[in-house]
């Protein structure tokens, strides 16, 4: 019955970052970390030995969606994550809405085509997503939830392909003149969206590797009604353009519900 005030502090917090430019597709790699008494955590415990083996998949021309269950799809857009196919820097952050702890996670790879993009956008606004899946190219399954790390795609299934090839989807909703950004995807580059007026959007694309602007990136603005019954025919392209040398592209955005 007593009220406890507990605080936890980790005084030594380190991140191991490895750069492997020669990583090959369809290969198996093992990372081993030796035990060390010289490296200790915040509780004074020494570093224990560990190892991890992962396989790489050769999917350079697809974009990938992550779901918490192969049996059904999330009803809310934030529960799905679209991640870039393209190279080993790609990572995945899962949405917040599901509590299905016992279902296996699933990755679905789609060809990078306009039709696939339209279908992926449509299924975000359709609560019956399983009706829109025949175009998927392949399915990669992880054995359990633990394989999806908070900061990365599952170690057992990494995507490898041409560097710089990626896809980023972000949901933009407008209500009563106010524009809000819903963060629905992550890739090797970031996209910042700013509404400069009631009918214009500015997109700024930067690299996660060095923070520099990404030039000649194609940015497309789709429109779809948020009614959870959308199909491909309900998705239209509002505007499209390439970023300039500063990573910026300006898009016309008609005042419609998005």
pLDDT of 244 reads: 93
pLDDT-derived band at 44, boundaries 50, 70, 90: confident
User: 164 or 60: which carries more pLDDT confidence?
Assistant: 60
Structural tokens at position 57: 């998949």
pLDDT of 125 reads: 67
pLDDT of 226 reads: 67
- Bridge pairing between strands 236-242 and 248-252: unpaired
- pTM equals 0.50
Asked whether the beta carbons of 225 and 234 are under 8 A apart, the reply is yes
Average pLDDT rounded to a whole number, residues 192-210: 73
pLDDT tens-digit readout, 213-237: 888 888 888 887 766 677 888 888 8
DSSP structure string for 166-214: -----EEEEETTEEEEE--EE-SEEEEEEEEETTEEEEEEEETTT--B-
Beta partners for residue 231, in sequence order: none
User: 83 or 238: which carries more pLDDT confidence?
Assistant: 238
**pLDDT above 70 for 72:** no
Asked whether the beta carbons of 77 and 124 are under 8 A apart, the reply is yes
pLDDT-derived band at 181, boundaries 50, 70, 90: very low
Q: Where are the domains of the chain?
A: 7-56, 57-160, 174-252
- Contacts of 16-24 with C-beta under 8 Å, sequence gap 24+, read 20/88, 23/56, 23/88, 23/158, 23/160, 24/56, 24/160
Give the torsion sign (CA, 62, 68, 71, 77): negative
Segment of 165-169, 205-209, 231-235 carrying the highest mean pLDDT: 231-235
Asked whether the beta carbons of 120 and 63 are under 8 A apart, the reply is yes
């Amino acid at each position: 019955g007593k009220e406890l005030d507990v605080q936890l502090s980790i005084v030594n917090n380190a991140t191991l970052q490895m750069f492997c430019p020669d990583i090959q597709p369809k290969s198996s790699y093992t990372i081993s970390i030796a035990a060390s008494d010289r490296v200790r955590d915040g509780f004074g415990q020494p570093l224990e030995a560990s190892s991890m083996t992962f396989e790489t998949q050769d999917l350079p021309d697809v974009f990938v969606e992550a779901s918490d269950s192969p049996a059904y799809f999330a009803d809310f857009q934030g529960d799905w994550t679209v991640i870039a196919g393209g190279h080993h820097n790609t990572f995945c952050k899962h949405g917040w809405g599901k509590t299905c702890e016992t279902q296996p996670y699933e990755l679905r790879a789609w060809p990078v085509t306009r039709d696939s993009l339209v279908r992926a956008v449509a299924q975000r606004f359709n609560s019956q997503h399983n009706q829109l899946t025949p175009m998927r190219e392949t399915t990669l399954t992880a054995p359990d939830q633990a394989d999806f790390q908070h900061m990365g795609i599952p170690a057992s299934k990494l995507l490898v392909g041409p560097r710089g090839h990626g896809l980023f989807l972000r949901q933009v909703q407008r209500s009563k003149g106010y524009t809000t950004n819903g963060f629905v995807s992550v890739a090797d580059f970031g996209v910042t969206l700013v509404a400069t007026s009631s009918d214009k959007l500015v997109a700024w694309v930067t690299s996660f590797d060095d923070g520099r602007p990404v030039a000649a990136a194609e940015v497309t603005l789709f429109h779809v009604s948020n009614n959870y019954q959308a199909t491909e025919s309900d998705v239209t392209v509002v505007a499209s353009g390439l970023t300039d040398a500063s990573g910026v592209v300006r898009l016309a955005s008609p005042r419609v519900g998005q």
